Structure 1
Amino acid sequence: MYRVLHINDSWEGGGAEAVFRDTIKISQELGFENDVLIAEGKRNVFTYIYSCSEYKRVKERILFFKPDVIHIHNYYHYLSPSILMAIKRLRDSNLWLGRVIFTAHDYHLICPNSGLQFYENETPYNFLISKNNFSYLKKFDRRGYIYSTLKLLQHVLCYKIFKLNTVIDKIISPSHFLKEVFQNWGVTCPIDVIRNPIASRNFKLIERKVGTEGASPIKLVFMGRVTEEKGILNFINIIQKSKFDIDFHIFGEGDLLNNIKELTLRSGLTIICHGYVSRELLLKQINEYDIFVLPSIWYENAPLSILEAANFGLPVMVPNYGGLKEMASLTNSFFMFDYTSGNVDKYIHAAIHEVGKNYIKDPYEFTFDNYKAKILSIYTE
Structure 2
Amino acid sequence: MPRLLNINNYHYRRGGSDVVYLEHAQLFGDLGWDNAFFSMHHPQNLPTPWSRFFIDELEFGHAYSLPQKLGMAGKVVWSLEAQRKLRALLAEYPADVAHLHCIYHHLSPAILPTLKAAGVAVVMTAHDLKIACPAYKMLNATGVCERCKGGNYLNVVRHRCIKDSAAASAIVAAEAMVHGLLGTYRKHADRIAVPSRFFLEKFVEWGWPRDKFVYIPNYVDASRFEPACEPGAAFLYFGRLAEEKGIATLIRAAAAAKTPLRIVGTGPLDAELRALAASLAAPVEFLGYRTGRELHDLVRAARAVVLPSEWYENAPMSVLESQALGKPVIGADIGGIPELVEHGHTGWIFPSRDTGALAAALREVAGTPDARLAEIGRAARQHVEAHFSRDRYVAAMQALYASLGVRNPSAHLEAAGHAH
* TM-score (structure 1 length as normaliser): 0.85
Alignment partners' CA distance in 1, 2:395 and 2:99: 16
Structure 1 gap ranges (5+): 212-217
The C-alpha deviation readout for 1:244-279, integer Å capped at 9, x for no partner, is 142x32222322223223335256524333332224
1:355 — aligned with what?
373
The C-alpha deviation readout for 1:26-70, integer Å capped at 9, x for no partner, is 110110111011222124433223322222222221222100000
- 1:311-350 equivalent positions in 2, closer than 5 A: 311-329=324-342, 332-339=345-352, 341-343=354-356, 344-350=358-364
Structure 2 letter corresponding to 1:127: E
Superposed displacement of residue 294, structure 1: 1.4
Alignment partners' CA distance in 2, 1:236 and 1:290: 16
Superposed displacement of residue 373, structure 1: 1.7
Q: Tell me which moved more, 47-56 or 137-146.
A: 137-146
Q: Among 353, 370, 374, which residue is 2:396 paired with?
A: 374
2:203 match: secondary structure: helix
Native 8 Å contact 1:101 1:168 kept in 2: yes
Native 8 Å contact 2:331 2:348 kept in 1: yes
1:355 match: secondary structure: helix
Aligned-residue identity in percent? 25
- 1:215-294 equivalent positions in 2, closer than 5 A: 218-240=233-255, 242-246=256-260, 248-263=261-276, 265-266=278-279, 269-294=282-307
In proportion to residue count, which structure has more helix?
2
Native 8 Å contact 2:113 2:184 kept in 1: no
Alignment partners' CA distance in 1, 2:108 and 2:149: 28
2:102 — aligned with what?
74
Superposed displacement of residue 155, structure 1: 1.1
1:107 match: secondary structure: coil
Alignment partners' CA distance in 2, 1:258 and 1:306: 25
Native 8 Å contact 2:78 2:108 kept in 1: yes
Native 8 Å contact 1:315 1:351 kept in 2: no
Superposed displacement of residue 201, structure 1: 3.7
The C-alpha deviation readout for 1:132-188, integer Å capped at 9, x for no partner, is 787434223351433322221111112333534421111111111111111121222
Alignment partners' CA distance in 1, 2:248 and 2:79: 36
Alignment partners' CA distance in 1, 2:80 and 2:248: 40
Structure 2 letter corresponding to 1:4: L
Alignment partners' CA distance in 2, 1:252 and 1:332: 28
1:215 — aligned with what?
none
In proportion to residue count, which structure has more strand?
1
Structure 2 gap ranges (5+): 42-56, 60-71, 404-420
Structure 2 letter corresponding to 1:3: R
RMSD of aligned residue pairs (Cα, Å)? 2.6
Q: Among 85, 108, 130, which residue is 1:57 paired with?
A: 85
Native 8 Å contact 1:300 1:323 kept in 2: yes
1:214 — aligned with what?
none
C-alpha change, 1:255 and 1:46, in structure 2 (3 Å) is: farther
Alignment partners' CA distance in 1, 2:176 and 2:282: 43
Larger CA Rg, structure 1 vs 2: 2
2:123 — aligned with what?
101
Q: State whether structure 2 residue 191 is matched by structure 1 residue 170.
A: yes
